[in-house]
Chains A and B, each alone.
Chain A
Amino acid sequence: NAGVTQTPKFRVLKTGQSMTLLCAQDMNHEYMYWYRQDPGMGLRLIHYSVGEGTTAKGEVPDGYNVSRLKKQNFLLGLESAAPSQTSVYFCASSLWTDTQYFGPGTRLTVL
Chain B
Amino acid sequence: NAGVTQTPKFRILKIGQSMTLQCAQDMNHNYMYWYRQDPGMGLKLIYYSVGAGITDKGEVPNGYNVSRSTTEDFPLRLELAAPSQTSVYFCASSYRHSSLSTDTQYFGPGTRLTVL
Partners in one complex: no
Give B residues with C-beta under 8 Å from A: none
Give A residues with C-beta under 8 Å from B: none
